[in-house]
Copies of this chain bind each other. A is one copy, B any other.
Amino acid sequence: MYRSHSCGELRASHITQEVTLAGWVQKSRDKGFMIWVDLRDRYGITQLIFDEERTPKDVFEKAKALGREFVIQVKGSVIEREAKNSKMPTGDIEILVTELTLLNASLLPPFTIEDDTDGGEDIRMKYRYLDIRRNPVKNSLMFRHKVSMEVRKYLSAQDFIEVETPYLIKSTPEGARDFVVPSRMNEGQFYALPQSPQTFKQLLMVGGMDKYFQIVKCFRDEDLRADRQPEFTQIDCEMAFVEQEDILNVFEGLTRHLLSEIKGIELEKFPRMTYDHAMKTYGNDKPDIRFGMEFGELNEVAQHKEFGIFNSAELVVGIAVPGGATYTRKEIDKLVDWVRRPQVGALGMVYVKCNEDGTFKSSVDKFYDQDDLAKWAEVTGAKAGDLICVLSGNTNKVRAQLSALRMEMATRLGLRNPAEFAPLWVIDFPLLELDEETGHYHAMHHPFTSPKPGQLELLDTNPGDVKANAYDLVLNGNEIGGGSIRIHDKEMQATMFKHLGFTEEEAKAQFGFLMDAFQYGAPPHGGLAFGLDRLVAILGGQETIRDFIAFPKNNSGRDVMIDAPATIDEQQLKELSIKLDLH
């Protein structure tokens, strides 16, 4: 062992002890007759002292040559610091060094190994091994480990079994794009990497394994939006002989356990909200309920006046921004510009200032009198001093636009406190979703989700109205988990595939094994999957997942550190019976 103690361990009680430490030179201050070195390892920083009088001459000379990030081993005695540093756990002591071994030198790192580094994202990714030395990344990875361990302990204690499902499976064109893997031994054929272990966990239920979980990598070959990764980690769970209520309770228990163990926060029973209510009230199926600004639908009170834009709109809807009545004309114009950005896409915004004196001043005073506007205030819950922002248009679009505005205003107003946790179950999701481009319905959750009892008939007449036994767990405006009660009946699964546009042959070729399995005593079952990357980021109080992933990829799916993907040689291609077909 290269050390007797870590660099985060020594305290006043160790004074006079002889110790051996090893680590990295964080920084070095050379006063000529005295040198201080901050020695860092995973556990902390300890100050080393070399002085002309007390340190052997050769050691002193060696200390002079130390640069940032050099790896050294030192022996010495723990002494009391003259100037104690109460901000450091080891701030009461320092090490008077008697022996110094250089274990490895270092080039000058391309960015500073500090909490606030001078390195940009790109350089930090290229030298990720140096980035990981920084506390924000190191602590995030350790935090992730802690969350994963707690998940495993909690579920294991409840008789869940972690089962490893295969990574080399079969491609299914349904849903997102698969990553595929050519098979050398099966010429012309390909494995696919799993987008989730969905069918396997259902087969485990058929196999009687009744409480399954797995923390597992999943893969999606999608064009990457910011903060998405081609490989991501799920906490994947499934239970048999349960109803939706049982699943909500178990995983609410898990989430509450994590918040309690890891954040020290005790939460009451999680609120529940239907999908329809969430869309109507927040314009969003993953509402952040840490703050209000709930939607007020204004059709009744704003239409049938002479304002044509509202009269022709499917939905007129507003929110009351707290304290917004004081915004200047310029500030409001900027807000209008903000909602008109292509990312939001509104055509314009109507506003009403709710003055402190009870009067209203709006951008549509020409069409609405004070009584009209007072009704708007009532519907949106606006108080004196608030600003009512109103958008109008196609229902789905305007809800999304106003939701974006609501979130933006909450951020500006500091209402999205990362130390506050507001979980929410959103339930009763629609079974199907209309693809506006193709005019076809596809499964909102996935094709294995069961419709609510008695709604199967609607599939033919009003497919968009069918509700599913599907639910999401939302935390602070992020979907952290989602799942459903599954179909466990062969006929119903076949009906579902038919409605999703599969021919009988396609359904059999892709999912025949699952439908076969349903014929051999499949129990009722359902489950849920959490996105671990997102979950740990939110629990860690962060908005971005990247620091919680040891070696993330960039938006082109590249690992810039190892420079992957890369070309492979002709021999490899030949063995795999493929060749390049560049466009």
Q: Which residues of A contact B (CB under 8 A)?
A: 1-3, 22, 24, 40-42, 69-71, 73, 103-107, 109, 127-133, 138, 141-142, 144-145, 148-149, 152-153, 156, 161-171, 173, 177-193, 199-200, 203-204, 206-211, 217, 219, 221, 223-224, 230-231, 233, 241-243, 246, 488-489, 513, 517-524, 549-551, 553, 556-559, 561-569, 572-583
Contact = CB atoms under 8 A, between A and B. Distances in A.
Contacts of A564: 168-170, 191-192
A151 B180 CA distance: 32
Given A40-B208, A180-B572, A181-B565, 17 more contacts: A1-B242, A2-B243, A22-B241, A42-B211, A69-B521, A104-B488, A104-B518, A129-B203, A129-B206, A129-B520, A132-B209, A152-B152, A168-B565, A177-B575, A191-B565, A203-B561, A577-B580
Number of copies: 2
A20 to B, nearest CB: 10
Contacts of A41: 208, 210, 241
Contacts of A1: 241-243, 246
A107 B520 contact: yes
Contacts of A171: 566, 568, 572
Contacts of A563: 170, 513
Nearest to A170: B564
Nearest to A148: B162
Contact of A189 (B156, B223, B567): B567
A208 B241 contact: no
A163 B550 contact: yes
A561 B164 contact: no
B22 A523 contact: yes
29 contacts: A1-B241, A24-B521, A40-B208, A41-B210, A104-B521, A107-B519, A107-B520, A109-B520, A129-B520, A132-B207, A133-B208, A141-B161, A141-B163, A145-B156, A153-B153, A166-B550, A168-B179, A179-B181, A179-B191, A180-B181, A180-B576, A181-B565, A182-B578, A190-B566, A192-B564, A192-B568, A513-B561, A579-B579, A579-B581
Nearest to A208: B133
B562 A199 contact: yes
B141 A523 contact: no
The 5 A-B pairs at the shortest CB distance, nearest first, are namely A132-B207, A106-B521, A170-B564, A189-B565, A2-B241
Contacts of A576: 180
Contacts of A142: 161
Nearest to A581: B579
Given A563-B170, A568-B180, A579 B578 contact: yes
Given A149-B156, A581-B574, A556 B489 contact: no
A178 to B, nearest CB: 8
Contacts of A550: 163-166, 200, 204
A523 B210 contact: no
Contacts of A103: 523-524
A153 B145 CA distance: 12
